[in-house]
Amino acid sequence: MKILHRQLLIAAAVAAASLALAPAGADVQPGGNAVKTGVDAWQAGRYDEAVRAWLPLAERGDPDAQFNLGQAYKLGRGVPTDLKLAQNWYEKAARQGHEQAQANLGLILFQNGAREAAMPWIRKAADHGDPRAQYVLGTALFNGDVVAKDWPRAYALMTRAAAQGLPQAATSLTEMDGYMTPADRQKGVELAQQMERSASATPPAVVPAPARPVRVASSVPPYKAPAIVAAPPPPAVQKPAPAAKPAAVKPVPAKPAPVAMAAAGGRWRVQLGAYASVAGARGQWEAMSRRIGALAGLRPSYEPAGSLTRLRVGPLADRAAADRVCASAKASGQACFSVAP
């Protein structure tokens, strides 16, 4: 049974990789930096000039230049679009330890269906903290796809990816919550905290150039990951219950308040999402409570879950009342599932 009945997409803005500025071989001018010369040309829109600067260095084995050429062929800037050549240049840089190239290579292989070949690179990138790789690996571990199923580690990786701003990971966490036992979720939260401490304690890699990587704006097609699969059926997948008093024009019932009022003293709640901060959760609640009439009269709670904050609201009298609220929320496009006492 699939938790998600749609393909999970990695945001294109996140999929856009960076152009590195670490120094390569000598430029034509003594002491110059041809890789940076190419980056400067790229940022100015002179893509063919950037490619000419990088090509000889890449052929001599410079990993930054190789990665940048992979970007150029991926995006079709300065050269014709050629995904095979892009993959070849990413692989050359990845085999020399270039972290961004490892991530891009793994994601391209995964997207093209070569999942077994992709996983070693995706694992490396996930270990280095790449949120795209953490998302794909977390999905695979949850499904038992190519790798052995490991729900706590899947939850931990998804938590880390969500904490870095990947919205699809936050959505997946909300869906995972409906399937995992409290014990497995707690293991996942603790493992995510260990990963966070380890990442904070690890000193940054020593690079011989002081410049930081420069992001390259792009329209890279989003990478696709499979839908999460779980054995038990979803706990709250129901068709919206007919409203007692449907509004004549608005698609959302105008007055579902009796659901909340009838829940005085109830212990059931619904979860509406997991967010990177309490402030973010509060902002989402303010918007939802105005937009979704069925939430009227319910009280929000903001509960820490590792690096995330869960937004849960209640109280509701019973499972049926919680499911009705979720049905209205889902009809408005909001993820939602019932939370037992």
- In this predicted model, which residue has the larger pLDDT, 240 or 51? 51
Structural domain spans, the chain: 8-225, 257-339
Q: Please, is 273 exposed, middle or buried when counting C-beta atoms within 10 Å of its C-beta (0-12, 13-18, 19+)?
A: buried
What is the tens place of the pLDDT at every residue in 96-117?
Answer: 999 999 999 999 999 888 999 9
Whole-number Å distance between alpha carbons of 177 and 214:
37
Q: Return the number of other C-beta atoms located less than 10 Å from residue 245's C-beta.
A: 9
Share of the chain above pLDDT 90, in %: 40
Whole-number Å distance between alpha carbons of 242 and 244:
6
- pTM: predicted TM-score of the whole model, two decimal places: 0.56
Strand ranges (DSSP E) for the chain? 8-9, 18-19, 214-215, 224-225, 268-275, 299-305, 308-316, 337-339
Closest CA to 120 of 144, 139, 145, 147: 147
Closest CA to 73 of 106, 101, 98: 101
Q: Return the number of other C-beta atoms located less than 10 Å from residue 332's C-beta.
A: 16
> Does the pLDDT value for residue 131 go beyond 90?
yes
Contact 166, 11 (CB under 8 A): yes
For residue 17, the one-letter residue type is A
Q: Residue 172 is encoded by which pair of tokens?
A: 């997946």
Q: How many CA atoms lie within 13 A of 28 on its CB side?
A: 6
For domain 257-339, which CATH number applies: 3.40.50.300, 3.40.50.150, 3.30.70.1070, 3.90.226.10? 3.30.70.1070
Closest CA to 236 of 169, 301, 329: 329
Phi then psi for 54, rounded to 5 degrees?
-85, -30
What is the tens place of the pLDDT at every residue in 245-281?
Answer: 444 444 444 443 333 334 567 888 888 888 777 877 8
Band of pLDDT at residue 292, cut at 50, 70 and 90: confident
For residue 242, the one-letter residue type is P
Whole-number Å distance between alpha carbons of 293 and 289:
7
> Does the pLDDT value for residue 48 go beyond 90?
yes
Task: Report CA-CA distances (Å) from 323 to 115, 270, 314, 327, 329.
Answer: 37, 8, 12, 6, 10
Which residues sit opposite 321 in a β-bridge? none
What is the tens place of the pLDDT at every residue in 180-206?
Answer: 999 999 999 999 999 888 877 654 443
Architecture, CATH, for domain 8-225: Alpha Horseshoe (1.25)
Percent helix, percent strand, percent coil in the chain, to nearest 5? 50, 10, 40
Same fold, 8-225 and 257-339: no
Q: Please, is 85 exposed, middle or buried when counting C-beta atoms within 10 Å of its C-beta (0-12, 13-18, 19+)?
A: middle
